[in-house]
């Protein structure tokens, strides 16, 4: 089963995230600096992907069809491949799905993938989310 979610990227959310992770580039704060660099608005830091993917990956993890014992769930890894930059004003649609379940001893690994596109249909990010239940 796939889970879909849309996320409207706001300028203040980009600024808040950039400040929280210590980004200092004016591209993340100043719309004029971003425009001079060729962007439509402030540019989201790459790991902002966790923010716009969250509304899709969260329900995927909690989907009872997957049989995950959530209190025993551990985050085991996360990888992203970035494509087009994300800027304030973009509407990002993320599709999340369970792509692999692998038992190993008394643990089971659950691998989810996400694919995020902007309002122009451009691929902005692909993610792999690995979790284990012990």
pLDDT per position as a tens digit, 29-39: 999 999 999 99
CA distance 103 to 126: 24
Residue 101, H or E segment = strand 91-104
Region 77-90: what's the mean pLDDT? Answer: 97
Strands (E), 2-59: 2-8
Domain residue limits, the chain: 2-9+44-133
pLDDT at res. 68: 94
pTM to 2 decimal places: 0.94
* 7-51 pLDDT, tens digit each: 999 999 999 999 999 999 999 999 999 999 999 999 999 999 999
CATH of 2-9+44-133, one of 1.10.1380.10, 3.40.630.10, 3.40.50.150, 3.10.129.10: 3.10.129.10
The whole-number pLDDT of residue 86 equals 98
DSSP lists the bridge partners of residue 107 as 104
**pLDDT tens-digit series, residues 89-117:** 999 999 999 999 999 999 999 999 999 99
Q: Residue 68 burial (CB < 10 Å; 0-12/13-18/19+)? A: buried
Largest CA distance in the chain: 55
pLDDT at 1: 86
């Amino acid at each position: 089963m796939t889970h879909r979610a849309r996320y409207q990227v706001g300028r203040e959310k980009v600024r808040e995230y950039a400040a929280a992770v210590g980004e200092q580039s004016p591209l993340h704060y100043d719309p004029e600096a971003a425009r001079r660099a060729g962007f439509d608005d402030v540019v989201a830091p790459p790991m902002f992907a966790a923010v716009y993917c969250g509304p899709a990956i969260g329900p995927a993890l909690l989907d009872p069809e997957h049989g995950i014992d959530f209190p025993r769930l551990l985050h085991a890894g996360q990888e992203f491949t970035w494509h087009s930059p994300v800027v304030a004003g973009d509407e990002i649609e993320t599709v999340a799905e369970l792509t692999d379940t692998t038992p190993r001893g008394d643990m089971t690994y659950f691998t989810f993938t996400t694919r995020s596109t902007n309002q122009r249909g451009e691929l902005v990010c692909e993610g792999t989310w690995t979790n284990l239940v012990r």
